[in-house]
Structure formats: structure tokens, C-alpha cells
Structure 1
Amino acid sequence: MESSRLRGVPDGSTLRERKKAQTRSALWSAAIELFLAHGFDNVSVAQVAAAAGVSKMTFFNYYPTKEDLVVGPMSEHIDEPARVVRGRGDGEPAVDALHRHFLEGLARHEPTTGLCDKPNVLAVLRLIFTTPSLTQRTMAILSESSDVLAAELGPDFSHRVAASMITGVRNALILENTKRMLAGESADAVYPSAVADANEAFSLLRSGL
């Protein structure tokens, strides 16, 4: 997952930006390999830095904690629902835009929908959901996504309620898909029921539950 972020560095980026992306990618790759082999709590920041060929201080220049490193790719999507709402077409309801976007993600088997059975993605997910501190950080990211969406929808209490409902539905769908992937089902096999679940869930949103 992190390597895709490195590939996404624009061609016109500066040498400094490319170097930073390479260091970040090296840290992430080294850390995940160590965490999967020895357990998250059994690997120190110093060990991760050494495996990546950088200093411990360099690690902290990029990631405040080990938890931040693991959930880094996920945290980049905190504002995704808000961005979808902001970029929707004229007259398109926010729920419709988010429904459409989620279905598009399912069709591409994007990790952000939970419907991804790539071995490297599943390995990181198993790490997250078997490590309490990482599970806690993941839940905090999902909660923060709701706050950002609420700010995009508007300033009123009703907007915060709407954001909570929308985010709750998305999270339930993501976690259900993730659970099925971790249980060994394939993304292709689960896709039809994942689409049906998404359609039902967003219909419930439109009807006010």
C-alpha cells in the first residue's frame, strides 16, 4: 500500500520530495515486515529505523509513533467522504454522491471499501485487528472522518447527525467486507452481496432509517 504512494509522486516533484517519499516508503515497508514477523508490540522504533537504513530521529521526523506509521495510508482517506460531497454535481444529494462513490470503489475492489483480498492488504488488516492499539487508532480515524464530513455538510447540529449516520453506514459496510475478506472469502465472490448490502444501507439512509 505504501509503495503506491511512492509511485504517485508527481514527475515534476523536487529531488527533496522524491527522497522524502522514498524514505517514508522504506520505513513503512521495513516496519510492516518486522511487525508481521515478530508482532507489533515486540518491535521497537530503533529496530524499524535500522531495518530501513535511517536513524531513530529520522523515523520520528516522518511518524510520531509506530501506530501512525501503520495507519498512515488509511489516515490519508479521512477526508474522502467530505471530498466526494464537495465535488458532487449540481443538485446531486450528498447521500447519492457517497452511494455512487462507494459502489465505484467496490467495483475496483479498493481497500477503502474493505473489499480487497490482496495478500499484502490482508496481512496489514490482520495486524491492525489483532493489535489493540492499532484497532483503537483505526476507530479514531473513522470517527475523525465523520467530523470532517460534518464540517463539509454544514454548521448545524442536524449536519453533525447526518454525518454520523452516513459515516456509520459506510463503516458498517467496510467492516463487514473486511470481516469476510479476513475469513478467506474472495473479493470477486463477495462483490455481488457487497453491492446489495451497500444499496440496502444507503436506501435506509434515504428513508431516514
Structure 2
Amino acid sequence: MSEAPPGLRARKKQQTRAHISEQATRLFLERGFDNVTIADVAAAAQVAKMTVTNYFPRKEDLALDLQEAFVQGPAAAVRDRAVGESALAAVRRSLLIAIAAHDPVIGFSGPAFARMIAASSALTARVREFHDQRERALARALAEETGAAPGAIGPRVAAVQLGGVLRLLFDEILWRTLDGHPDEEIARVVSAQAREAFTLLEPALQNYAIR
């Protein structure tokens, strides 16, 4: 039998990964994250336990499978910014689009998912790691885009400031979701908060990393 072409293999891997993630999320929401094992997920997905860990080395990543988009989003916004646009403006624009779309990557995950995260110290710790990784990725992008010298502090300072706003607004969305506020209301409030927060950063960053 001939080997499946690369495109087909990649699609099958994506389908398997998505299926495992869907089954894991269902179990986590039904039982709570801390009450589900990797073996439970493997059984529900009808795959070997090793298959689960090959796709998701950490159990937390089964629940938080948007890690790549979360970590790389602001850095991508900076790299893709328009001519004449600063890094701050690019990150703000990207965030406001995501808020308007109720994007789950920035926290619009629904009450059940928000409760699952809040109830698990392992998940809340993993989310903090994602925030830290996002700031480091943003700092690298800013260093590349500004031609900063290796180890320069400027890109790291800017990334911490921008990342701090993103972290604060993520928490705002999460806690307002937990309090039972509908997404439309959360988006309206958080959009206003985002504009205010980025305006506060403008004296320091409005002319930084303009393309």
C-alpha cells in the first residue's frame, strides 16, 4: 500500500488533534479539569494514551489548545502593521477587532469554560505562563522590527507595557464572564477600557516602532 501524501497526513493529524481536544474539553466541562486524567481523554477519543501526549505533552494544553494564537497574536500584529502605524496602534487595533468578534483567544470562552479555568490552580498557572510567553514573543518581534541591539531593554519595556494591558483586559473578560455578564456587554465595557488603557501608554509608545 502506498503511503498517504503529505497533505493528507497533515489533515489527518489535524483531525485527530481536534478530536482529542473536543473530547477533552467535553470531559473537563462535565467533571472539572482536575478530575479528568489523560487516560480518560484517551478512552473518550478512542486513541492510545501515548497519542494524546504526542499531541498535547501537558494536560493543561488539552484545555488551552489556542496557545499558539494567544502567544503569537500581538507579535504577529506588530509584524503585519501598516505603513505609518506604530506597534501600539497595531496591537490596539488587533485587540479591538478581537473584542468585537468575541474571540475566545482573548477570553470570550463562555461561563462554563471560565468556571473551569478559575476552579483549577493548574490552569490558572498555565494561563499566566502563556501571558509571560506572549510578552517575550512580543519583545522579540519589537527587537526585530526596530533593529535593536541584542539584549536591548527598550523592546522588553515596550512588551511589558503592552502585554500588561492585554493581561489586565483578559482578566477583565474572564471575571465579567464569571459574574454572568453577556458577551455584548463585556465587549462594550472592555472596548472602552482598552481605548483608555492604550491612551495612557501613548506618551511613551505612540511613536515607537512606526513602520
Shorter-normalised TM range:
0.7 to 0.9
Q: What is the aligned length?
A: 194
Instruction: Percent identity, please.
Output: 40
- 1:150-189 maps to which residues of 2 (within 5 A)? 150-154=139-143, 155=148, 156-189=152-185
Offset at residue 13 of structure 1 (A) = 7.5
Q: Give, in whole Å, the separation in 2 of the partners of 1:104 and 1:42.
A: 36
Alignment of 1:33 with 2:26, yes or no, is yes
| 187-196 or 88-97, larger mean C-alpha shift | 187-196
Letter in 2 for 1:143: D
Relative contact order (C-alpha < 8 Å, sep 6+): which is higher?
A: 2
Alignment of 1:130 with 2:112, yes or no, is no
- 1:1-209 maps to which residues of 2 (within 5 A)? 14-114=7-107, 116=108, 121-154=110-143, 155=148, 156-208=152-204
Offset at residue 98 of structure 1 (A) = 1.0
Indicate how the Cα distance of structure 1 residues 108 and 30 shifts in structure 2: closer, same or farther if over 3 A, else same: same
Question: Does the 8 Å contact 2:72/2:137 carry over to 1?
Answer: yes
| 53-62 or 69-78, larger mean C-alpha shift | 69-78
Larger radius of gyration between Structure 1 and Structure 2: 2
Secondary structure of the corresponding residue to residue 57 of structure 2 = coil
Query: Could you state the TM-score of these two structures normalised by the residue count of structure 2?
Result: 0.85
Question: Does the 8 Å contact 2:139/2:159 carry over to 1?
Answer: yes
What are structure 2's unaligned runs of at least 5 residues? Answer: 206-211
Aligned-residue RMSD, C-alpha: 1.9
What are structure 1's unaligned runs of at least 5 residues? Answer: 1-11
Question: Does the 8 Å contact 2:70/2:106 carry over to 1?
Answer: no
Secondary structure of the corresponding residue to residue 60 of structure 1 = helix
Q: Give, in whole Å, the separation in 2 of the partners of 1:208 and 1:129.
A: 34
Q: Give, in whole Å, the separation in 2 of the partners of 1:25 and 1:122.
A: 22
Q: Give, in whole Å, the separation in 1 of the partners of 2:78 and 2:135.
A: 12
**What does residue 209 of structure 2 align with?**
none
Q: Give, in whole Å, the separation in 2 of the partners of 1:26 and 1:151.
A: 33
Query: Could you state the TM-score of these two structures normalised by the residue count of structure 1?
Result: 0.86
Deviations, residues 12-53 of structure 1 (Å, cap 9, x unaligned): 972211211121112111112222222222222111101101
